[in-house]
Amino acid sequence: MTETRYRLAAGTGERTVVDVAGRAIGGDHFTTIAGPCAVESREVILESARLVRDAGAQLLRGGAYKPRTSPYSYQGPGEAGLRLLAEAREETGLPVVTELMDVRDLDAVAGVADVIQLGARNMQNYPLLTELGRTDKPVLLKRGPAATLEELLLAAEYVLKGGNGAVILCERGIRTFETGYRFTLDVTAIPVLKQLTHLPVIVDPSHAAGRRELVEPLSLAAAAAGADGLMVEAHPRPDEAVCDGPQSLVGEELAGFVRNVERAAELAGKELAAAV
């Protein structure tokens, strides 16, 4: 490789703790982010937000702009969804994570999001990475399904180089030969990233698994391996969800889920919020 490698993302000294509207991600903290795939309606996002808050999770997720493999699939509510996220935050106090797909939507998304998500398909979308480097919003950067850890860190480097140091990395499953599940969760990435970078590392087991019943075992595995947090899909009534229903946790089971993963995180040395 003649290319210069990552510099600002490297290092194992003091760990970066990202401040999201007063909630800390990384370091000794363990963070659960939960919510529906898409901000599909006012009712669903508000109900989800209450479930997430009551379950003891720390952040609300929900997509206004949805990158979809097929042009015939539901594409998300767009800007109207951003307004509903703001309303959900206002009611529950939960900071919100939402995805940015189009550089032209940056102002609209940054006006609402507490954390801007860059999806797996956009991990190497350099105009987006460059613009996010100029904002002061934390960035949740998902690993592409065929991206090496070095490529992930070089993508983070684009944001860091622009002046924005608040990057959270997210492992979400890689593409392998195994067809028994959607993606193969790369749990090894967690301790290896911790050796390579000071940035927080969270895991999205929902997109990796593609099936609800796998989400909790994979979440326990990720927490036990040292992840700084989880981002899971949860919906009040997954059977009615407009997207990703089969992999969404059922709202009423979310509290038990949060309790269990926090115990696993404690095993890996995390201090539980509840213990504070």
- Residue 77 or 95: the one with the smaller Cβ distance to a copy of itself is 77
- Residue 16 or 125: the one with the smaller Cβ distance to a copy of itself is 125
Q: Which of 34, 41, 119, 35 is nearest to 80 (CA)?
A: 41
Least distance in angstroms from the C-beta of 152 to a copy of itself: 10
Least distance in angstroms from the C-beta of 36 to a copy of itself: 17
Least distance in angstroms from the C-beta of 34 to a copy of itself: 19
Least distance in angstroms from the C-beta of 26 to a copy of itself: 17
Residue with tokens 């992930």: 152
Radius of gyration of the chain (CA): 17
- Residue 21 or 263: the one with the smaller Cβ distance to a copy of itself is 263
Whether residue 76 contacts residue 57, with contact meaning beta carbons closer than 8 Å, is answered with no
Least distance in angstroms from the C-beta of 150 to a copy of itself: 7
Least distance in angstroms from the C-beta of 78 to a copy of itself: 12
How far apart CA 215 and CA 207 sit, in angstroms, is: 9
CB half-sphere exposure, 214, CA atoms < 13 A: 17
State the CB neighbour count (10 A cutoff) for residue 231: 27
Instruction: Report DSSP state, residue 191.
Output: H
Task: Give the three-state DSSP class for 98.
Answer: strand
- Residue 27 or 191: the one with the smaller Cβ distance to a copy of itself is 191
Least distance in angstroms from the C-beta of 22 to a copy of itself: 30
Structure tokens at 148: 């090496």
- Residue 22 or 104: the one with the smaller Cβ distance to a copy of itself is 104
- Residue 111 or 217: the one with the smaller Cβ distance to a copy of itself is 217
How far apart CA 186 and CA 214 sit, in angstroms, is: 14
Strand partners, 140: 117, 168
The residues that touch a copy of itself, with contacts defined as CB under 8 A, are 3-7, 67-73, 101-104, 121-122, 124-127, 144-146, 148-151, 154, 157-158, 161, 174-181, 184-192, 195, 208-209, 213-214, 217-218, 220-226, 260, 263-264, 267-268
Least distance in angstroms from the C-beta of 47 to a copy of itself: 23
Sign of the four-CA dihedral 51, 48, 246, 179 = negative
- Residue 54 or 266: the one with the smaller Cβ distance to a copy of itself is 266
Whether residue 86 contacts residue 79, with contact meaning beta carbons closer than 8 Å, is answered with no
Residue with tokens 């600002």: 8
Q: Per this entry, what is the length of the chain?
A: 276
- Residue 9 or 34: the one with the smaller Cβ distance to a copy of itself is 9
Structure tokens at 36: 């529906």
